[in-house]
Chain A
């Protein structure tokens, strides 16, 4: 270890300001401002929405066509009633699962692997703002696809559209639950390929367990269906097609989504902090 102490160093080159011209610091300099939660969340949300607009529009088309295609396929098998409701609501929530769960898991997996988290970790921003801003942007990005899928489904299966306004609650709540799960998977997976794989598997599960009518599933798969947060979004949307919807049951389903959303976003914020400072 050979270090020349600062005091022993000769003056600096001509023309540059002498470092000694500035008073050395007292005990502790004042810290710069901290970004507060909501302004920071807003800034991350806006930035993420703009980058999603550039990079994700083709994927949104894929998500929507995939869901519409599934409904067209299922039309040959299902002829109305409870099963038609399950297909339409499952296909609609699938758009949310595709973007919020699958794409967000990929995004955070790649951000972590590529050193992109360093950028946020060296800014005085609360972890929750980064996670919620990104999750919110991805969830809002699903709105057009989900609405198009739900309306197309209602037309295909002659379901009433009167209560489709419930999507205004289903998308943000199912979106929060799935985006939180996607972000947590992306940030916890040791390698980005694993994050992508988990996101894909989660989306496949949402597809199979959401679109297939619950009554036809074997018991163990039925339990798996109960564990998947998207199921409660599917159920809530499915119930709204009833002539006289059971609003309490819908409220309970959405409550589950909200609870899972809060929990998974908290886990994601924790995972972010853990991934950012190693």
Chain B
């Protein structure tokens, strides 16, 4: 359906202005290979600056790779980038082109520009606007809407003039749960009815775990793992995440706590530990008794998330969202 082979893209070094340091060249895609199958929701997970958006821009024909190949539905998009627009719908991070239009006009115009006739564009506009629950705000300009509503309106513009592949760059940013559900319901419907494939960029771990069929974990322009969320979690399946929040300072005079301190990642009053099950049990009984418990504000035990996978694989960690 969609295959990427050995993709390399380097942004050239920027010459520094007076007083500013020179920015070095950045290898935003460092030999990326992926295979997305028809009808699946395929995720690209990684923190900001990992190279997700650069990859997506090459997939959509917006950016020409230095080397490597991109093939979508049998078309070579490196040689024919203009064909991307006729194969896929793209939701970028910006809405500047649509901001001053009403929701209805933005959706209808996009449909016209995807080659629909005037009548088709109006009919499909009404259908999509209704499907996503945008009817009440259809007459309002996008820039007068909240961030989540605006994002949903842009998503409506992606859906009009059905395409077999949807490339969505953080589609649900700023959306409330109702809008999120509308997005995933619309995606599921298209998947069931016509086998629509979705490539989704996200840095939201919970969303990745709940909606993705498979996920490629991206770090520094490389794919460091690629599997189903369940399969990835098995990589770190033996470990349990223990989070401790201290009231004030950790009681390092307690020997058990001092022993844990060596392996904990501390962020303010919060410690995060990844331990085998037996050790985690011992640690919990140590901190829930005596002087350590008096200093403890809160603790949680959890099975590993994709964030733990990401850290275990050597990712830089900061920047993934858990909400």
Contact = CB atoms under 8 A, between A and B. Distances in A.
B84 A115 contact: no
A76 interface: no
Given A4-B225, A4-B227, A31-B87, A24 B93 contact: no
B96 A114 contact: yes
B24 interface: no
A117 B96 CA distance: 8
Interface stretch (A6-14, A152-160, A235-243, A246-254): A6-14
Given A25-B38, A26-B74, A124 B114 contact: yes
Interface stretch (A32-40, A65-73, A183-191, A195-203): A32-40
Contacts of A277: 61-64, 81
A51 interface: yes
Given A123-B110, A124-B86, A19 B34 contact: no
A122 B61 CA distance: 8
B100 A29 contact: no
Interface string B22-35: 00000000010111
Contacts of A118: 57, 62, 90, 92, 94, 97
B31 A25 contact: no
Interface stretch (A41-49, A97-105, A264-272): A41-49
Contacts of A55: 100
- Size range of the chain A interface in the assembly: 35 or more
A17 interface: yes
Interface string A55-87: 100000000000000000000000000000000
A50 B62 contact: no
Interface in B211-233: 213-214, 216, 222-228, 230-231
B105 interface: yes
A28 B39 contact: no
A168 interface: no
A24 B96 contact: no
A109 B118 CA distance: 30
B105 A50 contact: yes
Interface in A88-141: 110-111, 114-125, 129
B230 A29 contact: no
Given A9-B214, A120-B97, A19 B231 contact: no
Nearest to B232: A4
A267 to B, nearest CB: 20
Q: Is the interface of B mostly helix, strand, loop or mixed?
A: mixed
A10 B191 CA distance: 19
Contact of B114 (A12, A32, A50, A114): A32
Interface in B77-106: 81-90, 92-98, 100-102, 105-106
A248 B224 CA distance: 72
B228 A116 contact: no
A12 B224 contact: no
A44 B114 CA distance: 12
Contact of B118 (A10, A28, A39): A39
Contacts of B84: 122
- Size range of the chain B interface in the assembly: 35 or more
Given A27-B74, A32-B87, A47-B109, A111 B97 contact: yes
B101 A6 contact: no
B98 A31 contact: no
Contact of A51 (B101, B114, B216, B227): B101
Contacts of B141: 54
B172 interface: no
B86 to A, nearest CB: 4
Given A29-B74, A50-B105, A123 B35 contact: no
Contacts of A4: 225-227, 231
A51 to B, nearest CB: 4
Contacts of A148: none
A186 B88 CA distance: 28
B306 to A, nearest CB: 14
Given A16-B191, A27-B74, A40-B112, 9 more contacts: A17-B39, A19-B38, A22-B38, A25-B38, A25-B74, A39-B118, A123-B85, A123-B113, A124-B114
Interface of B: 1, 31, 33-40, 57, 60-64, 73-75, 81-90, 92-98, 100-102, 105-106, 108-110, 112-118, 121, 141, 161, 163-164, 188, 191-192, 195, 213-214, 216, 222-228, 230-231
26 contacts: A2-B226, A3-B34, A6-B35, A10-B231, A12-B40, A16-B191, A20-B37, A23-B38, A25-B1, A28-B73, A28-B74, A35-B113, A39-B118, A51-B100, A116-B97, A118-B92, A119-B95, A119-B96, A121-B61, A121-B85, A122-B89, A123-B110, A124-B113, A277-B63, A277-B81, A278-B63
